[in-house]
Amino acid sequence: MNKQRLFITGIPTAGKSYLGKRLAEEVGGICVSIDDMREDLAKDEHWKKWVNYYLDQDEYTYYTTTNYDEQWKNLVTQSEGFWPGILAGLAQYANEVRPIIFEGVNILPHLAHKDLGIPGIAIIGRSFEETLERNMKEPRWGASEELQKLESDAFFNGERPRYKEESNKYGYPVFETPDEAWETSIQILTNDPSASN
């Protein structure tokens, strides 16, 4: 993939989808949601157990008995589990001439660095309050306010520093908001030589 490509990773609620769609519109490209791809993988028994890795558990028990380190390890395990299926899906875009933005929480920096060979960025959110507010508007898992608060805590206080650390390790720029990420993302997608990988 040596054409105009960008991946966006980071915590849920941070604005990955919003940024991806906005960028695609700006540069005449397409935004590919890994979440949508993941839903398609769930129809295949080979990938189903990884896609439903969290849904098959009791959420309250999971978040109240699993510490941040264990939660991150579980996200890594899930992401690595169905990553071959994601790669197969991404390969369908190999000959696409338009710019493409791939976005999703499961594009972990170490996986992207190993297999994608394209620039990427991470969006990690600005505050717990914003994370909670957005999560309550579009719940990721739990239906109750208590569960949504547990999720938001896991996203912001658990996953956020780990996305940041791993992105920094592999040289991917980290931003708190989509607006902060805009200029760098546009530079990458328009092949501006001042863009950073």
CATH number, domain containing residue 163: 3.40.50.300
Is 197 among the domain residues? no
Q: Give pLDDT tens digits for 135-158.
A: 999 877 778 999 999 999 999 999
- Residue 48's domain spans which residues? 5-189
Is 74 among the domain residues? yes
The pLDDT score that the predictor gives to residue 118 is 95
Distance CA 190, CA 165 (A): 27
The pLDDT score that the predictor gives to residue 139 is 78
Count of the separate structural domains present in the chain: 1
Is 195 among the domain residues? no
Is 54 among the domain residues? yes
Encoded amino acid at 157, one letter: N
Q: What is the mean pLDDT of residues 57-68?
A: 94
Assessment of whether the complete model's pTM goes beyond 0.85: yes
Is 159 among the domain residues? yes
Q: Give pLDDT tens digits for 96-122.
A: 999 999 999 999 999 999 999 999 999
**Band of the pLDDT at 196, cuts 50, 70, 90?**
very low
Is 163 among the domain residues? yes
Which residue would you say has higher pLDDT here, 168 or 44?
168
Is 160 among the domain residues? yes
Is 101 among the domain residues? yes
